[in-house]
């Protein structure tokens, strides 16, 4: 729409600024006695408009086309993404066909002929009254040439897929979804245009015991009741090795211990973050008769004097039962609040 308005303005100005043209238009309704705003002067005005505003409205004939970008999803282990690594990515990308030199024609450039749709101009022109428009020819893609005989190797496309290997550097502290841009490793441009880029998208495999909170590495360490009660030394795996850590006696489930400098590298540089070791006391899932008897005996020996959290719970429970309106709802079997498909509580 804007194109038509600009053309009308340029044509009207060419008429109004010339006394002879203006008098002819006032007398005959046109400047050449044939059609309003007709004649070679109007064509010149239209060509002037195309020269000035053609690029603005995408009317100019395309000289080159940039290649499209390619995407590659790279899966990394948790430790690789955290500490950084180098990986060789193997992918296929379109490249110029060697048989036809990227022309799509048998015999290369010599096998090209002028496009019949656009007469070799690369654009289709249409004229409605004193206005004209043009668009890129779809038959030749704006090149003005088409193959006489399509290349058998690439079937006239001018491109074939070839395997490409590229070594990409993954910086430390990379996260899932982060992208590495590799310039000019995408699809090749056409008619001398630049190649596209390769975008390597990182996907981090989940880890069974590690988690991440900014630059803090979280580690879940399960221990037995005996280890939590009596204290112990456990090997804690970190990103680049193991740390021998002491668990003090009477450690409660959910306690968190800090290992300085064993977390994630910081993207801005400087010292690494910390690792937070979270203790979980694991309850046995299967007991033999002897173990069952020993645990039952141990339970008889443990009272509220050595279980402060249990004592606190009992005191709060008694206050609730002694309050007004307290009543007994009877016994009810407990079940996990959330369970997965296998019935395990989550």
Kindly give the residue spans of alpha helices, DSSP state H, lying in the chain. 2-16, 19-28, 40-53, 78-83, 225-230, 289-301, 308-322
CATH class belonging to 70-204? mainly beta
Mean pLDDT for the stretch of residues 325-343 = 55
Q: How far apart are CA 273 and CA 228, in angstroms?
A: 27
Give tens-digit pLDDT for 148-193.
Answer: 999 999 999 899 999 999 999 999 989 999 998 989 888 888 777 8
Residue 97 class from Cβ within 10 Å (0-12 exposed, 13-18 middle, 19+ buried)?
A: buried
Residues spanned by CATH 2.60.260.20 within the chain?
210-281
Top pLDDT among 111 and 189 is at 111
- Output the pLDDT for position 191: 72
Residue with tokens 């079937």, as numbered in its chain: 155
Q: Taking the CB of residue 236, how many other CB atoms lie within 10 A of it?
A: 19
Indicate yes or no: pTM above 0.85: no
Per-residue confidence (pLDDT) for residue 150, from 0 to 100: 94
**pLDDT tens by residue, 235-287:** 999 998 999 999 999 999 999 999 999 999 887 777 899 999 999 999 988 99
Residue predicted with more confidence, 100 or 5: 100
Gap between the Cα atoms of 46 and 49, Å rounded: 5
Compute the distance between CA of residue 82 and CA of residue 272 in angstroms, rounded to an integer: 11
Residue 71 in tokens? 């995407």
Q: Average of pLDDT values for 65-93? A: 92
Q: Specify the CATH superfamily of domain 210-281.
A: Urease metallochaperone UreE, N-terminal domain (2.60.260.20)
Mean pLDDT for the chain? 80
Going by C-alpha positions, the residue among 55, 43, 34 that lies closest to residue 7 is: 43
**What pLDDT is stored for residue 63 in this prediction?**
58
For residue 190, the tally of other CB atoms under 10 A from its CB is 18
* Over residues 210-234, mean pLDDT: 93
């Amino acid at each position: 729409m804007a194109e038509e308005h600009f053309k009308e303005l340029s044509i009207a100005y060419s008429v109004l600024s010339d006394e002879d043209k203006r008098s002819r238009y006032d007398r005959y309704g046109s400047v050449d006695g044939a059609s309003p705003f007709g004649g070679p002067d109007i064509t010149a005005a239209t060509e002037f408009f195309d020269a000035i505003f053609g690029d603005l409205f995408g009317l100019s004939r395309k000289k080159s086309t940039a290649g499209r970008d390619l995407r590659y999803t790279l899966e990394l282990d948790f430790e690789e993404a955290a500490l950084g690594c180098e990986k060789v990515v193997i992918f296929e990308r379109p490249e110029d066909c060697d048989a036809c030199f990227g022309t799509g024609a048998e015999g290369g450039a010599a096998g090209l002929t002028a496009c019949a749709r656009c007469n070799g101009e690369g654009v289709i022109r249409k004229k409605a009254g004193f206005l004209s428009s043009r668009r890129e020819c779809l038959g030749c893609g704006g090149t003005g040439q088409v193959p006489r005989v399509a290349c058998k190797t690439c079937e006239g496309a001018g491109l074939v897929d070839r395997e490409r290997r590229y070594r990409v550097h993954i910086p430390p502290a990379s996260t899932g979804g982060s992208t590495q841009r590799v310039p000019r490793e995408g699809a090749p441009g056409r008619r001398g245009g630049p190649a596209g880029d390769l975008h390597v998208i990182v996907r981090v495999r989940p880890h069974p015991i590690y988690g991440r909170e900014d630059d803090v590495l979280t580690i879940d360490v399960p221990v037995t009741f005996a280890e939590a009660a009596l204290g112990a030394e456990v090997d804690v795996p970190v990103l680049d090795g193991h740390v021998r850590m002491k668990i003090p006696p009477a450690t409660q489930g959910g306690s968190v211990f800090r290992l300085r400098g064993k977390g994630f590298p910081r993207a801005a540089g400087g010292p690494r973050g910390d690792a937070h070791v979270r203790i979980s006391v694991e309850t046995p899932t299967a007991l033999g008769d002897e173990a069952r008897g020993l645990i039952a005996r141990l339970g008889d020996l443990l009272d509220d004097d050595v279980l402060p959290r249990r004592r606190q719970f009992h005191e709060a429970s008694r206050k609730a039962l002694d309050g007004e309106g307290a009543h007994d709802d009877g016994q009810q079997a407990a079940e996990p609040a959330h369970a997965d498909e296998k019935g395990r509580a989550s």
